[in-house]
Structure 1
């Protein structure tokens, strides 16, 4: 959820917030601010963030974030699952279900990014 929430912020604010300090949790954790900013750019384009074993080995998660334009708050939701669940298949149905929820919930809270 961290990347989904960070993707709501401009790159300068992300740099300032993290102050070049990224703690590695696994060998897959992003190690540089520039790498993180590149991943955030992709997250902004596709509408969801992906963490593939970056926090826990063998666990993948996809997440989306929402802005409440009236309260100026951000919240996120994620779906985490062990990689063996999608070992012989695609995780696209999980992503599709999350995006369907995001569209409905985002519209309800008034987040313009999710209103279509």
Structure 2
């Protein structure tokens, strides 16, 4: 019962914090007394919530009026969301073109909480993917998009993600971190990654990095299809094709490296 009560209180606090931010987005600036009145809580509770939000940069207090307004932390969150929206928007034409050119499924993926998340999918009529997998998560170490993201992470982040046991999905899955690190060096050198039946038997793929203006890897665009249509000896040529599509998207995002 104690744990349930604590969880309920935490949820209520989150709800009130979000209500404060929504109030400030509409009203502009509010004092502690006004916030307390809007939420129906004691003034001391409102003050504690505002102080916590201020500590995270979500709100800030005007030193002259002592009223609170939304802080720069909100701008940072909004920028992160907008960046992902921009990547998806600016990749659509190139993704559709790559799917038509290859006759296979094209996935735009990115790194979220240690997993590869599918942001957008473009499929040809001959694609083996019968549904839209947008929003689905995949492992990093055995997917071409995941290897692209791993290859371009700062070393300490890459080491953190490779520190735990790597799950084996097929006989071809690379589960030795040192072997995988050596492969990631090659990925950075040639500009694309590929997998041969590492996630699923009979499924091959290639992916290349999509870059932001500063050169950071924002996402990976990849071509995925059955091994009989994408044999291992065709993946280098497909990698160059995919790399060109990734470069086109990167340019649309403002990268000119």
Aligned length: 111
Aligned pairs for 1:40-59 (under 5 A) are: 40-59=184-203
Aligned pairs for 1:16-55 (under 5 A) are: 16-55=160-199
Higher helix share: 2
Aligned partners of 1:73 and 1:62: how far apart in 2?
16
Find the counterpart in structure 2 of residue 80 from structure 1: 224
CA RMSD of aligned residues (A): 2.2
Asked if residue 5 in structure 1 is aligned to residue 152 in structure 2, the reply is no
Q: Identify unmatched segments of 5+ residues in structure 1.
A: none
SS in 1 for 2:165: coil
SS in 2 for 1:57: coil
User: Does the CA contact (< 8 Å) of 1:28 and 1:53 recur in 2?
Assistant: yes
Deviation at 1:20, TM superposition (A): 3.4
TM-score (norm 1): 0.81
Find the counterpart in structure 1 of residue 246 from structure 2: 102
**Runs of 4 or more consecutive aligned structure 1 residues displaced over 6 Å after TM superposition:** none
Aligned partners of 2:205 and 2:217: how far apart in 1?
22
Q: Greater RCO between the two (CA within 8 Å, min separation 6)?
A: 1
Deviation at 1:98, TM superposition (A): 1.0
Q: Identify unmatched segments of 5+ residues in structure 2.
A: 1-144
Find the counterpart in structure 1 of residue 207 from structure 2: 63
Aligned partners of 2:213 and 2:205: how far apart in 1?
26
Aligned partners of 2:178 and 2:237: how far apart in 1?
30
